[in-house]
Structure 1
Amino acid sequence: MSYQSILRPGLFDGQTIIVTGGGSGIGRCTAHELASLGAQVALVGRKPEKLDAVKGEIEEDGGKASSYPCDIRDEDVVAATVKQILAAHGPVKGLVNNAGGQFPSPLAGINQKGWETVVRTNLTGGFLMARELYNQSMSKTGGAIVNIVADMWGGMPGMGHSGAARAGMVNFTQTAAVEWGACGVRVNAVAPGWIASSGMDTYPDQMKAWIRGLADAVPSKRIGTESEVSSAICFLLSPGASFISGDTLRIDGGASQGSRVWPLPKAKNIEVFNGFHRAVTPKIFSED
């Protein structure tokens, strides 16, 4: 099988697109879809073994990928990595700022180190990648950037460090869209809600029941798929979105629009899109 994208074949032929956090989850899925549409995908992340595994999958499927181990929180390393990618592949047309991470904790239990680590990962790292790519390439050639944030409207109880960082990334998206637009650079964001991704298996056991019940808070009574996020990312990178910049697209089944006061009835007529031929259901949903 191959990736079943809703976008036309060859859409990104001849284009190099960077995907940070490309070794797992939404980043892995997006890298696969971009490669299936003809892109040369540059996978960036902290763990070489994960990047190489996804690179191998993409090449096995007939796509083109390369891997670049990089800690996006390190300014000098980011600058060197972007330079290396440009030297290998020429101008980069797209950046998917997907790398991120957090841990569950109420605000009162987060120390300064934990707070700063999450903010550096979810905000500073994305800024550094975008800035370096703009300065080294996109300011001369144009391009598109898609930042991955999260459903943090109304706060993000239990993960306030991540919520603050993601809100900052939304504002960065808006600012960069204005400052960089004259150079032909578009900057947008997508905000996934609850998505069935490998990251769900990283949370502690005490959160499993809560995670399994997340679908009850979505109007469609389900959680999303990785490919439902990837398709939006690929669209925002495409020429079809050439007049869209500074916006954030929520991909959450309407969950962030709702109110706890409004009762959610039993869902019906629900359609699910899953074009990722290598998608794996998180273990948490297959456990007894």
Structure 2
Amino acid sequence: MSYRSVFQPGLFQDRVYIVTGGGSGIGRCTAHELASLGARVALVGRNPDKVARVREEILDDGGTASAHVCDIREEAAVQATVRAILDQHGRLNGLVNNAGGQFAAPLTGISQKGWETVVRTNLTGGFLMAREAYTQALNKSGGAIVNIVADMWGGMPGMGHSGAARAGMVNFTQTAAVEWAAAGVRVNAVAPGWIASSGMDNYPDHMKSWIRGLADAVPIKRLGTEAEVSAAICFLLSPAAAFISGDCLRVDAAASQGSRIWPLPQARNNTPFNGFHRAVTPRVLSED
């Protein structure tokens, strides 16, 4: 089997894209879709085993990928990693700033260290990756950057550190879109809602019932797929989005648009899209 993308074959032929957090979840899925469309994908992550495994998956499927171990929170490491990718692939056409992470806690339960760790991962690291992609390559050739954020409209109770960082990333997206436009660089963001992704299995046991009930708060009464997010990312990287920059595309089935006060009847006429041939249902959603 191969990835069943909605986009035309060869759309990204011989283009080079960095995907941070490419060892799992949305990053893994996006890397597979880009590779299936002809791109050479540079997988970046902190866990060497994860990025190496995804690289092997892509190679087994006939694609091209390289694996790079990097802590995106460290400036020198980011600079060296982008340089190594350019040395290996000879060019860079874009960046998918997907790496991120957080832990569940109320604001009063977050220490300064915990706050700064999440902000460095979800905001500072994304800034460093985008800045280096721009200064080392994209300012000369043009290209596209897609920053992955989250549904933090209306606040993010229980994960305030992540919500603050993601909101900052949206503002960074808007600023970079203006400052880097003259070089032919577009910068956009994608805000996934509740997506059935491997990251759900990283939360503690006491959150399992809450996670299983998330679909009830979505107007179409289901969770999204990784492939539905990847499709949005690929669109924003593609030539079809040549006049779109500084925007944030919400992939959340309208969950952020007023469902807190509007009654949600049973949904119908709703078919998920899942073109990812290697997708795996999170354990928390398959348990009884």
Normalising to structure 1: TM-score of the pair?
0.99
Partner of 1:30: 30
Partner of 1:107: 107
Partner of 2:18: 18
TM-superposed deviation, 1:213: 0.3
The one-letter amino acid of 2:54's match is: V
TM-superposed deviation, 1:262: 1.2
Partner of 2:149: 149
TM-superposed deviation, 1:260: 2.1
Partner of 2:167: 167
Please give the residue correspondences for 1:1-288 in structure 2 after superposition, counting only pairs within 5 Å. 1-288=1-288
Q: For residues 55-97 of structure 1, give each alpha carbon's deviation from its aligned partner in whole angstroms, at most 9, with x where no partner exists.
A: 0000000000000000000000000000010111112001000
TM-superposed deviation, 1:41: 0.2
The one-letter amino acid of 1:105's match is: A
TM-superposed deviation, 1:261: 2.2
TM-superposed deviation, 1:159: 0.1
The one-letter amino acid of 1:7's match is: F
Q: For residues 154-195 of structure 1, give each alpha carbon's deviation from its aligned partner in whole angstroms, at most 9, with x where no partner exists.
A: 000000000000000000000000000000000000000000
The one-letter amino acid of 1:121's match is: T
5+ residue gaps, structure 2, are: none
The one-letter amino acid of 1:243's match is: F
Q: For residues 203-252 of structure 1, give each alpha carbon's deviation from its aligned partner in whole angstroms, at most 9, with x where no partner exists.
A: 00000000000000000000000000000000100000000000000000
Counting matched residue pairs gives 288
CA distance, structure 2, for counterparts of residue 195 and residue 38 of structure 1 = 26
The one-letter amino acid of 1:234's match is: C
TM-superposed deviation, 1:200: 0.2
SS of the equivalent of 2:281 reads coil
CA distance, structure 2, for counterparts of residue 240 and residue 175 of structure 1 = 22
Q: For residues 134-169 of structure 1, give each alpha carbon's deviation from its aligned partner in whole angstroms, at most 9, with x where no partner exists.
A: 011101000100000000000000000000000000
Return 153-162 or 260-269, whichever deviates more: 260-269
SS of the equivalent of 2:256 reads helix
TM-superposed deviation, 1:115: 0.1
CA distance, structure 1, for counterparts of residue 216 and residue 286 of structure 2 = 18
CA distance, structure 1, for counterparts of residue 235 and residue 259 of structure 2 = 29
CA distance, structure 2, for counterparts of residue 22 and residue 177 of structure 1 = 24
CA distance, structure 2, for counterparts of residue 262 and residue 197 of structure 1 = 27
Q: Which runs of 4+ in 1 moved over 6 A?
A: none
The one-letter amino acid of 2:245's match is: S
TM-superposed deviation, 1:14: 1.1
SS of the equivalent of 2:177 reads helix
TM-superposed deviation, 1:4: 0.2
TM-superposed deviation, 1:259: 3.5
Query: Would the aligned equivalents of 2:219 and 2:259 in 1 still touch at CA under 8 Å?
Result: no
Q: For residues 24-63 of structure 1, give each alpha carbon's deviation from its aligned partner in whole angstroms, at most 9, with x where no partner exists.
A: 0000000000000000000000001000000000000000
5+ residue gaps, structure 1, are: none
CA distance, structure 2, for counterparts of residue 258 and residue 60 of structure 1 = 44
The one-letter amino acid of 2:139's match is: S
Normalising to structure 2: TM-score of the pair?
0.99
CA distance, structure 2, for counterparts of residue 160 and residue 69 of structure 1 = 28
TM-superposed deviation, 1:286: 1.1
CA distance, structure 2, for counterparts of residue 268 and residue 237 of structure 1 = 31
The one-letter amino acid of 2:101's match is: G
